[in-house]
Amino acid sequence: MKKIHLILAGVLICLYLIACNDGVDNNSSTDSTSHRNTVASNPPDPCEGIDDIDLCKDAGEIGNLVIETSVAQKMMTNFETFFKTEGGKNIRAFEPVYWLDKCTIESIAEYLRTQTDPVTKKRFDGIRIFIACEIKDNAYYGTDPYKRRTSINIFPTYYEKAASSNKSDHKTSKQKISLVGICSSAYLQDFSVADPQNKAFKKIYRKEATPQLKNNLSESIWIDACIIYTLEKLIKLPNANIDGANVNMAAYDNAIQPTNPVRGRYTDIQSTVLVVPTHLVGGKHEDYWYIVDCLFKHAKANGWAPAPPGGFNHGELCPQVCE
């Protein structure tokens, strides 16, 4: 009998332990599910780490880095209004956006950081973005007023004090920016190829050497090297998934007057570019305005009040001599 009682007691203890363990497992499962739901409802912040990004406050002519999204979008609309039409007709050949993949941006940053102009041996201080176009009419544009599709060409620059005020202190190097690994970009090419395209834009679109000269249509925009290094850092943000940057055509208007005057801006209405980080949305490289807003807030938190007068856009404009 004692043995039977011992056996029954052992069975009861086992059943009790199993019941207790079931209770613990159920609670653990509930806690785990709750944790997963919390993580799912709070995805990683794309702007994590942005507070450590250099804002280029004192970088060359460019002044500041960030720009308020509403202002940026207004400037892009200005381009469409002032430069994308003529005589009431849409200029289809004038492309409004040019995309640079992150590999190209990183390669440009590395080139500026490590190379020098082979002739002067001077370190590079930035890049010049030339607005260019095809050198022959394109049949695709039929009877359109402009038949040459636009593009951009990018070359490094080095500092050299200009002899006169109508020339740039940032001299264009004729060296092609070399890319790393398997990177490729149609916007980085030999100067012998790019120069005719740059000159074609001045002739066809700016109408240089004619009474119809469009002097408010900038031929190129200089951007400080610091901006490129900052783009490189943005690309490396852990949660942002930035895939490159759009070079957006844009334009000032009479209501957009930066605190520090933009060198080369001769009129209230004048074209420029906005370089905006991008991310992939539905297969398209869309402007990443959330990141731009984070940069803007970062600047304000650092005591830039009122908010800094723009950025990525306040480079030196170039109707003046910039070759």
Which tens digits make up the pLDDT trace of 99-135? 999 999 999 999 999 999 999 999 999 999 999 999 9
Report d(CA 29, CA 247) in Å as an integer.
Answer: 50
Helices in the chain by DSSP H: which ranges?
2-41, 69-83, 102-114, 191-204, 225-235, 289-301
Q: What angle do CA 136, 140, 146 make, to 5 degrees?
A: 60
Q: What is the per-residue pLDDT for 27? A: 52
Model pTM score: 0.82
Report d(CA 78, CA 272) in Å as an integer.
Answer: 10
Report d(CA 224, CA 234) in Å as an integer.
Answer: 16
pLDDT tens track for 196-248 = 999 999 999 999 999 999 999 999 999 889 889 989 999 999 999 999 999 99
pLDDT tens track for 159-196 = 999 888 778 889 999 999 999 888 899 999 999 999 99
Residue 174 makes CB contacts below 8 A (sequence gap 6+) with 155, 191
Q: What is the per-residue pLDDT for 62? A: 37
Tokens of 170: 């940032």
Report d(CA 122, CA 158) in Å as an integer.
Answer: 6
Residue pair 127/173 in contact by the 8 Å Cβ criterion: no
